[in-house]
Every structure is written in structure tokens, then in C-alpha cells.
Amino acid sequence: MDTTMILALFTVLLWIILIDNLLLGIFLLIRAYQVKFNNLYSIGIGFVIIFVGLFGNLVLGYGSSVQDIFITIGYFFIGLFTYLTFHKQKVDYSSKLILYLIVIISFARILFIIARTIYVGPTTFYFLLVTINCHTFLVFFWLGWSSFSTYKRLRDHEIAPWIKMRYKIISVVSFFFPFHAISFFLIPWYSDWADPSNLLSFIQFAVTVILSLIFIIGMIIAWVIPKKLKNYLNRKKGYKPSEDRDLSENELMKLAQDQLQEADNHGND
């Protein structure tokens, strides 16, 4: 396979990522509207903003700086989703602190993106790379860790296996995805992102595309689990959904009263 073909292949993969971001974003926004959950709006907006950034660069030619600003804002919304979904109303301040840190690093990242358009030199370039890495690792490790720690807590509880699978997939893809940011250090400071004439820059592009593809496909599987797959996962683990008896309010209160009375009698025995 020659360089042109490899580049064409990665361009196709990039388009798949681009379209998947849009589709997943729209899917989550529709679901957010249906179930009226603000956190789902947050992640849906995040994916749509990332799509806008990629589209602005790849199709409209606005440049990688504009793309990076949109990606920064998109990542912020994903961080906000993590806070609203896993940590809202928690008494400890660590989650609030991480959210504030994400806000600060988002601003710093945008400032360095702007600075790099004004002054092209190694200083602004490497400061930008450090903020990109801090931002990406913080946002996605936080999501991965939050999902993983909840999964660990609920693993042995009687909860539908497809929900556990959702937690698991989100954890795995979120832990792997940020490592693409390290590959940015391969790019020489005077070179642009995804420059095909520079081998290191091209390797970085390939690593980013592959990890982004794994991330977005994982996220799609996690969020758009078809009913058949849910049933299969439930069946495979021998899970039976609880069937509540169809009792009236009075019957239910009487049942509860009788059971409590019985428990009390056993206690006295």
C-alpha cells in the first residue's frame, strides 16, 4: 500500500468519525428531549460541537485552530456530563474541584490555541500540547473512572446486565481515548497537524484517527444498544426483570403491614 492509499484510508476513517459524532450527538439530544434529562443534553451538545469543529476544518477549511477550539468546548460539555451524571449533589468537593479545573484548563487551552496563531514558535506549541494533554486526560479519565467505579459497586447487584455493559464500555473507551493526545508530541513544532509530508506528523494522525474511531464506535454501542442485544445480554446472564404484583394501594399497604408483623413476631421468637 503506498502513502496516497494509506492517507485515503485514514481520510475515510476520519469521515466515519465525523459522521458518527454527528449521529450520536443528535441521537442523545433527541433522547434528552424525550426523557427530559439535562445531562444527556450536555453530552449530546458535546458530540455535535466536536462534529462542527471537524467539519469546519475538513470541509470548510477554517483551519486546525478553529477545529481545536470547538473540540475544547465539546470536551468541556463531556466533562459537564460526567459531573451531572455521576457526581451532582455529592457532599464532597472533589468532583466540583475537577469540574472547575476542567473549566480553567478549557480556557487555558483556547488561549494557547489563539496564542499559537499569533506567535508560531516552540514555546506556544509545547504549552498548547501540555494543556491539550491535561484537558483530554482529565475529561476522559474522569468519565472513565466515574463509570468504572459505579460499575464496580453495582457489579454484584441484581441490575440488568445490559446496563452493566453500558458502564463497562464507557469506562474502557474513555480510558483508552486520551492516549492519542500524547502522540501530539511527535509532531515537530513547525509542522501542522496531519501533515502527510512529515512521517511523525502522519503517525500522530493515524494514532488519533484509530483511537477516536474506537472511542466513537464504543460510545455508539454503549448508548444505542438495540433491544435484541439487551435481551441477549439479559438472557445470557440469566437475568429476570422484576415482575411487580398488580396490587391496589390498600392491598400493598396490607401486605407490607403483614410482612412487618411477621418479621416482628420472628424477632420476638
By the criterion CB under 8 A, which residues form the site for another protein? Answer: 31, 34-37, 39-40, 85-91, 146-147, 150, 153-154, 157-160, 163, 166-167, 242, 244-245, 247, 249, 252-253, 255-257, 259-260, 263
Measured from the CB of residue 160, what is the shortest distance to another protein in angstroms?
6
Pick from 64, 54, 198, 79: which is nearest to 138 by CA?
A: 79
Nearer to another protein, 46 or 53 (CB): 46
* Measured distance CA(224)–CA(215) in Å, rounded: 14
Nearer to another protein, 123 or 261 (CB): 261
Q: What does the angle CA 76 – CA 52 – CA 199 come to, to the nearest 5 degrees?
A: 90
Quick one: how far is CA 214 from the chain centroid? Answer: 12
Measured from the CB of residue 157, what is the shortest distance to another protein in angstroms?
6
* Measured distance CA(218)–CA(82) in Å, rounded: 17
Annotate 153-168 with DSSP letters as a single string. HHTTSS--HHHHHHHH
Nearer to another protein, 1 or 35 (CB): 35
Question: In sequence order, which residues have a C-beta less than 8 Å from that of residue 214 and are 6 or more positions away?
Answer: 173, 176, 177
Nearer to another protein, 43 or 69 (CB): 43
Measured from the CB of residue 233, what is the shortest distance to another protein in angstroms?
14
Measured from the CB of residue 172, what is the shortest distance to another protein in angstroms?
15
Nearer to another protein, 28 or 105 (CB): 28
Nearer to another protein, 112 or 151 (CB): 151
Kindly report the number of other CB atoms within 10 A of residue 105's CB atom. Answer: 24
Nearer to another protein, 60 or 256 (CB): 256
Measured from the CB of residue 84, what is the shortest distance to another protein in angstroms?
9
HSE-CB of 6 using CA atoms within 13 angstroms: 13
Task: Kindly compute the dihedral angle of the four CA atoms of residues 219, 213, 53, 174, in this order, to the nearest 10 degrees.
Answer: 50
* Measured distance CA(24)–CA(32) in Å, rounded: 12
Measured from the CB of residue 140, what is the shortest distance to another protein in angstroms?
16
Measured from the CB of residue 6, what is the shortest distance to another protein in angstroms?
38
C-alpha cell at 223: 448508548
Quick one: how far is CA 17 from the chain centroid? Answer: 14
